[in-house]
Amino acid sequence: MLILGLETSCDETGVALYDTDRGLLAHALFSQVDIHVEYGGVVPELASRDHVRKTLPLLEQVLAEAGCSAADIDGVAYTAGPGLVGALMVGATLARALAWGWGVPALGVHHMEGHLLAPMLEAERPEFPFVALLVSGGHTQLVRVDGIGQYRLLGESLDDAAGEAFDKAAKMLGLPYPGGPHIARLAERGDPARFDFPRPMVNRPGLDFSFSGLKTYTLNTVNDCREAAAGLTEQDRCDIARAFEEAVVATLVIKCRRALRQEHLDTLVMAGGVSANRNLRATLERALAKEHARVFYPAPEFCTDNGAMIAYAGAQRLLAGQVDDEESRVRPRWPMAELPPLSRAAHGAGG
């Protein structure tokens, strides 16, 4: 079964072809970072317009790379939410029109389920059940996963998500959007002993997160450095970036270990844009190895939004017989707990 996947939830246009027998055949991604960087964040109207311009050319590119034609496609999967409503509507409208024209089913996919299942695109895949750490855009969540569609929320951010905190801290340091990669590069040159930032909510029971206090602490540190030296030096910026990144990483690692113990599991899946952070990956691997647990994550190219994860997630549900009805709509807000489960027989399909 050959599935076309379209991802247009925010500021990246992703297109991919996934075959349930042969795996991922081709994928292409266009990032709108250069469009939004001057505004310090995503401008929804500009995002929607660029998806309109880029989706069809990327589709033609992917078909050519895979050596396929429209006649070979058996279904179309697209991101139906959560995300920016205008951007979602671009992908949904195109996907449903293509599916109707080709006489194949279409299915709206949950963006975060796509991230959660992205590690399944790798040669070595996790087995159910596991705990998933989802750190993408405005989401930071810990979820128990017993199968596709069998999700139980264990904890989430009560205010800023980790990705949002990275962007805001970067802005304080005069770094461009998106902030995560720029913070990580500065942190490599930072002195780990100079600042000790708090690890928010780690001394409280439970698995929820809060990064707003860390954001405030970072701002206060930036202001203190400016006052002490009549300006922020390059080393100040590196040291603050290092302390900030260490605090976020330590917080995520502590909560992940706590979640695995609580659920009596030994497998963690980490997905989403922040999961590409090398410090986070290395620290998690070291921490979990001590407890004889393992962590799985996607290849870096599939950590950010991409069409491959949507094609894969859509393929699993299309194989199970799920299709859009005539009233299907995009959903800017969409709890994963509302997704229907797949039967166990369907979990291995397309593997």
Residues in the annotated binding site for Fe cation: 111, 115, 305
Give long-range contacts, CB 8 A cutoff, 24+ apart: 45-52: 45/86, 47/10, 47/11, 47/84, 47/86, 47/87, 48/84, 48/86, 48/87, 48/89, 48/90, 50/13, 51/8, 51/13, 51/87, 51/90, 51/91, 52/90
Exposed e or buried b per residue across 20-47, where buried means at least 16 C-beta atoms within 10 angstroms of its C-beta: beeebbbbbbbebeeebeeeeebbeebb
What does the radius of gyration of the chain's CA atoms come to, in whole angstroms?
A: 21
Q: Which of 220, 235, 223 is nearest to 187 (CA)?
A: 235
Q: What amino acid is encoded at 48 in this protein? A: S
Q: CA nearest 134: which of 202, 207, 43, 188?
A: 207
Annotated binding site for substrate: 134-138, 167, 180, 277
Tokens coding 255: 């909560």
Q: Where is the binding site, in residues?
A: 111, 115, 134-138, 167, 180, 277, 305
Element (H, E) at 16: strand 12-19
